[in-house]
Amino acid sequence: MSQLQYLVEHIQEKQSFLCVGLDTDPTKIPTHLNDFSQPVLEFNKQIIDATRAFCVAYKPNLAFYESMGSEGWDILKSTVDYIGPHHLKIADAKRGDIGNTADQYAKTFFKDLGFDAITIAPYMGRDSIQPFLEYKDKWTIVLGLTSNPGFEDFQLRKISPNDRYLFEEVIETVAQWGTAGQLMFVVGATRTEYLQRIRSIIPEHFLLVPGVGSQGGDLKETFQKGANDHVGLLINSSRGIIYAASDESFADAAALEASRLNDEMKKLIIQW
């Protein structure tokens, strides 16, 4: 079964297209976890066990693991191993460099760490993305239209001669370099006014959608404007789930929030 088929079936089975963002900040985890030798890993394990039934993907954010130095790197690897084979494991790394460097990143994230997918910045062009696409059974997820306030600075520049936005040119160009079975795009949930334009460019591709929750994006609107016939969306929530409570009940609170989002997704899929 191809990785695309697997993902589509996993979404159908769970009626969920939720991705849980593991942006685990050592300074924000409940203090009772300090009794464990690796508090962040214990936090992640409990979050994963609590949310596994409600999501199809996990997305550790590299910045938070790098902030812990070499131990963070071990915790990241252990976290990926703990997630296991059923869920999509996305490295939110936003890498992008010249060919020989991109080769190294691809090897590190896909082979050594065992991720299924990685996020990539497009500014440096094709040879910075190609080494990831060489791994046909992995996902390369390229930044299209991001959820942060700074998206306007460059992504909304208009390109001559057709006055299309830079993000449209990026998505259309990159989509020619790989198939919908190996490429996804990041499109922020805070940018729903552009989702239909994006769907007209890439009707088949999956979109990884951050920005629901803490950043204010709306799940229903994102689905209605962005879903395709196999859903085609992975909606990420990080802080809204993993920090749903800050005391000993954190895992229960995370389960509750993930379950609530899953219920919302079920309704949307049934009505679709």
Catalytic residues: 94
Three-state DSSP class for 194?
Answer: helix
Shortest distance, CB of residue 259 to a copy of itself, whole angstroms? 25
Q: Which of 16, 46, 79, 128 binds a copy of itself (CB under 8 A)?
A: 128
In angstroms, the CA 90 to CA 113 distance is 11
Contact range with a copy of itself by CB under 8 A, out of 7-15, 36-44, 121-129, 219-227: 121-129
Q: Which of 95, 138, 191, 205 binds a copy of itself (CB under 8 A)?
A: 95
In angstroms, the CA 103 to CA 63 distance is 20
Q: Which of residues 167-196 bind a copy of itself (CB under 8 A)?
A: 169-170, 173
By CB under 8 A, residue 157 contacts a copy of itself: yes
DSSP state of 142: E
Q: Which of residues 54-93 bind a copy of itself (CB under 8 A)?
A: 61, 63-64, 66-67, 69-74, 77, 92
Q: Which of 32, 126, 266, 267 binds a copy of itself (CB under 8 A)?
A: 126
- Which pair of tokens denotes residue 118? 């990685």
> Comparing C-alpha atoms, which of 243, 202, 269 is closest to residue 51?
243
- For the chain, how many residues are written? 272
> Comparing C-alpha atoms, which of 206, 202, 201 is closest to residue 181?
206
Phi and psi of 9, rounded to 5°?
-70, -35
- Interface ranges with a copy of itself (CB under 8 A): 23, 25, 61, 63-64, 66-67, 69-74, 77, 92, 94-102, 104-105, 107-108, 112, 121-129, 143, 146-155, 157-161, 163, 166, 169-170, 173
